[in-house]
Amino acid sequence: MDNRLLKTMVQLLLPFIQLYGVFIILHGHITPGGGFSGGAILGASLILYGLTFGHQETEAIFPEKVSAWAESGGAMMYVLLGLFGLIFGASFLSNLTAGFAAGTPGQILSGGFIPLLMIAIGIKVGSTLMTLFSALIEGEPS
């Protein structure tokens, strides 16, 4: 069956879905949503691509190796951000006391390290969703 309609629509929609995901992640500290919801949207966009174009195509643009690095890297970034506080003489995962800039409340550059945490969570959740999807597709994880 030729599903050109589906493919074209997905190709059209995909940038907007991903942009929305990135928006949700970056605005996590000032609007509803955050790393998890944004990451889930990003992951869903990848899953949509995988469902439309097949597993091989997805593997080509988002290889499993990248997924593994993103998964571990996202979570590691979170831990390292936590350790930052210890280095600067505050508690584990301290925000402003560890010297992160507070910025102007309500602006996108505010909230100390919360945006960074959101990015870490977003990367982790998005890649984990993709890993789970490919594990289900392949039937055998890793």
* Per CB under 8 A, 51 contacts another protein: no
* Per CB under 8 A, 127 contacts another protein: no
Residue 95 CB, shortest distance to another protein, in Å, is: 7
Q: Which residues of 106-133 are buried (b: 16+ CB within 10 A; e: fewer)?
A: eeeeebbbbbbbbbbbbbbbbbbbbbeb
Q: What angle do CA 33, 128, 23 make, to 5 degrees?
A: 30
Residue where the block lists tokens 């593994």: 68
Residue span 4-43 as binding mask against another protein, x where in contact by CB under 8 A, dash where not? ----------------------------------------
* Per CB under 8 A, 86 contacts another protein: yes
* Per CB under 8 A, 95 contacts another protein: yes
67 C-beta neighbours (distance < 10 Å), count = 19
Judged by CB under 8 A, the residue of 34, 38, 39, 85 near another protein is: 85
Contact 28, 118 (CB under 8 A): yes
Sign of CA dihedral 111, 34, 142, 13: negative
- Which is nearer to another protein, 49 or 113 (by Cβ)? 113
Residues that bind another protein (CB under 8 A): 68-69, 71-72, 75-76, 79, 82-83, 85-86, 89-95, 97, 142
